[in-house]
Amino acid sequence: MELYFLGTGAGAPSKERNVSAVGLRQPRTGRWWLFDCGEGTQHRMAESPFKWNRLEAVFITHLHGDHVFGLPGLLASRSLLGLTSPLAIFGPSGLRGYLESVFQFTDTHLGFALEVEEIGDGWARTFACGWTVRCGKLCHSVESLGFRVEEPPQPGRFHPDKALALGVEPGPAYARLKRGETVVLPGGRIVAGRDVTDPPRPGRRVVLLGDTEPCTGALTLAEGADLLVHEATFLSRDEPLARRSRHSTAAEAADLARRAKAGKLVITHLSPRYAGRELELLAEARAVFPATEMAIDGSSFRCDPHP
């Protein structure tokens, strides 16, 4: 899994930071999902490794403009490019009406089937790639969601030396044993996958939270995440601004990562008031949770399989 940040600013775009958008790329296939789509996202896509025809789904955390103003344009451009494969979009209530209104008043017609599903707390779906996405309610000035992407358990490491010692010659049988299946040798001997592989490894967990102030819902979603993406709009010295707008400080994001026992925290959604001083936000978060990184536009972060 790889996260690629197309926009990392809050509220309004700046020269250095576009507004919110994150791509999650699937291993080996090049297929990807988009989380939020602020104004200018498709411009950032032109500079990214993502291809239009590999976009499979869009997930919207909430309907504030810095998270959705780029969505109608992205969909219109996808149609103008002649892409006809269906596209699914998931987000909070009101998303369908927003898109329908924009398309109606701009006379926009899409050349592909668009599935818009309005979702809420507790929603979950398992996709064709095997990943399950769960969503939970956060605490913001409008309905805001967080998403937890879960990979299924992965096969344990295969030991060809053990297979050979049991009489299994290299070939197609190895692939079956790697998948955990059972093979029957010419003499009738049965060898099970578990005899030559380590126990299954846990799947990876990537959590992307929408705008939120500290709350139980955020902690529940983030529990045990290998990679957690959390907004860090303000510094602690500006906490009154965070409370007024129902956002989080960098220290609060880090505290949640610590309590959730996350593997790594990536802070994003940084207020333009800190332009040129964003490292203060990173330092504040690292003082609480050392395994913190700060996203910038065009940065990417891998979530590697468990050993």
Question: Is 307 a residue whose pLDDT tops 80?
Answer: no
Determine the average pLDDT of the residues in 265-282.
96
Per-residue DSSP letter, 270: B
Tokens matching residue 122: 């507790």
Determine the average pLDDT of the residues in 120-146.
96
In whole angstroms, what is the distance from residue 292 CA to residue 214 CA?
A: 17
pTM beyond cutoff 0.75: yes
Q: Is 269 annotated as a binding residue?
A: yes
294, 288 contact by CB (below 8 A) = no
Catalytic residue, from 36, 66, 226, 297: name it.
66
Tokens matching residue 273: 């008031």
The domain ranges of the chain are 2-154+202-300, 160-191
Determine the average pLDDT of the residues in 200-213.
95
Q: 2-154+202-300 adopts what CATH topology?
A: Metallo-beta-lactamase; Chain A (3.60.15)
Per-residue DSSP letter, 69: T
Higher pLDDT, 30 or 118: 118
In whole angstroms, what is the distance from residue 279 CA to residue 284 CA?
A: 8
Q: Is 64 annotated as a binding residue?
A: yes
pLDDT number for residue 241: 97
The pLDDT tens digits for 31-51 are 999 999 999 999 999 999 999
Determine the average pLDDT of the residues in 19-23.
98
Q: Is 211 annotated as a binding residue?
A: yes
User: How many Cβ atoms are within 10 Å of 8's Cβ, its own excluded?
Assistant: 26
Q: Across all residues in the chain, what is the average pLDDT?
A: 95
Higher pLDDT, 199 or 97: 97
Task: For residue 78, name the pLDDT band (cuts at 50, 70, 90).
Answer: very high
Classify strands 55-59 and 87-91 as parallel, antiparallel or unpaired: parallel
Task: For residue 199, name the pLDDT band (cuts at 50, 70, 90).
Answer: confident
Taken in order 300, 202, 36, 230, the sign of the CA dihedral is negative
pLDDT number for residue 178: 87
Q: Is 66 a residue of the active site?
A: yes
In whole angstroms, what is the distance from residue 32 CA to residue 116 CA?
A: 18
In whole angstroms, what is the distance from residue 257 CA to residue 218 CA?
A: 10
In whole angstroms, what is the distance from residue 76 CA to residue 78 CA?
A: 5
Question: Is 294 a residue whose pLDDT tops 80?
Answer: yes
Determine the average pLDDT of the residues in 94-103.
98
Could you give phi then psi for residue 174, rounded to 5 degrees?
-65, -40
What SS3 state is found at 117?
strand
Query: In the sheet where 292-294 sits, what is the strand order?
Result: 124-126, 132-137, 145-150, 205-209, 227-231, 264-268, 292-294
Taken in order 132, 27, 179, 159, the sign of the CA dihedral is negative
The pLDDT tens digits for 155-193 are 888 899 998 999 898 989 898 988 888 999 988 899 998
pLDDT number for residue 179: 84
pLDDT number for residue 28: 81
